[in-house]
Structure 1
Amino acid sequence: MNADKTICGLDPSSEFVHLAAEVFGILSDPTRIRIVLALRAASELSVNAIADAVGKSPSGVSQHLARLRMARMVTTRQEGTRVLYRLADEHASALVSEAIKQAEHSVAGGQTPRHHHGPQG
């Protein structure tokens, strides 16, 4: 069982620990978290559609998308003159989901957070 953890980088001495910290750093911005959530909900969006979804200017969203793209969290596809963005894989979405759940615990005030109540909430 420990061999599995070492192979996939889950050992505390893993070479991936520093890279994982960089991933958290990239996702430490609220606008980037909103972008991930918007792309999770819609699969593929233009910069303008993302800007509308997150309530920010298209130029600001473009800068955030550039960081997410450099980190290989989002990819693009050209459709005519439009560039469409999508999540590169499910991992950024999963990290954001877990962070949101942890945030719910921090404000639950002794109550059971909503995510523990199932789909009906």
Structure 2
Amino acid sequence: MHLVPADRADRRTIDGHRVCDAIAAIGDAGRVRAWADRFALLADPKRLALLLALHRTGPLAVSDLAVATGMNDPAVSQALRLLRAAGVVAGEKEGRVVRYRVVDADVAGLLGHCAADG
């Protein structure tokens, strides 16, 4: 069965069956966009450092993350705000201290691969 969309059906292919397999592998455009957004979050070295620290150690407070990454507290807070808005991390308040942790299972899986290579 060919999955070539009608707007591309008139174009010549060399390996038509592979083109159909490639279209199936790409899948839903919304899912591709969601993964691209995740990768964009991970593309910033400072955000990636924060996520690697959280993935390896578990929940940490902003000030502890700042010391671990060499960032200042406001920069850590801003990065965590972005990661929280994207659903990648969540904060758990304990008194006046908020400790953050990675909650996105897909991102955690990617971080596991990154950490294993280091």
Distance of 1:87 and 1:22 partners within structure 2: 16
Match of 1:11 among 13, 25, 30: 25
Match of 2:103 among 88, 94, 115: 88
Gaps of 5+ in 2: 1-23
Report the TM-score when normalising by structure 1.
0.69
Q: 1:72 matched to which residue of 2? A: 87
Which 4+ residue blocks in structure 1 deviate beyond 4 angstroms? none
Query: Does the Cα contact within 8 Å between 2:55 and 2:111 map onto a contact in 1?
Result: no
Distance of 2:104 and 2:83 partners within structure 1: 12
Give the CA deviation at 1:40.
Answer: 1.2
Distance of 2:81 and 2:61 partners within structure 1: 13
Give the CA deviation at 1:90.
Answer: 3.5
Distance of 2:51 and 2:42 partners within structure 1: 9
- CA 1:89 to 1:26, structure 2 compared with 1: closer, same or farther past 3 Å? closer
SS of residue matched to 1:76: strand
Match of 2:69 among 44, 54, 74: 54
Q: Percent identity?
A: 33
Aligned positions, number: 94
Q: Which structure has the larger Rg over C-alpha atoms?
A: 2
Q: 2:56 matched to which residue of 1? A: 41
- Report Cα offsets for 1:49-86 as digits up to 9, x if no partner: 01111110010010000111011010011100111101
Query: Does the Cα contact within 8 Å between 2:89 and 2:100 map onto a contact in 1?
Result: yes
Gaps of 5+ in 1: 1-9, 102-113, 116-120
SS of residue matched to 1:16: helix
Q: 1:26 matched to which residue of 2? A: 41
Give the CA deviation at 1:38.
Answer: 0.6
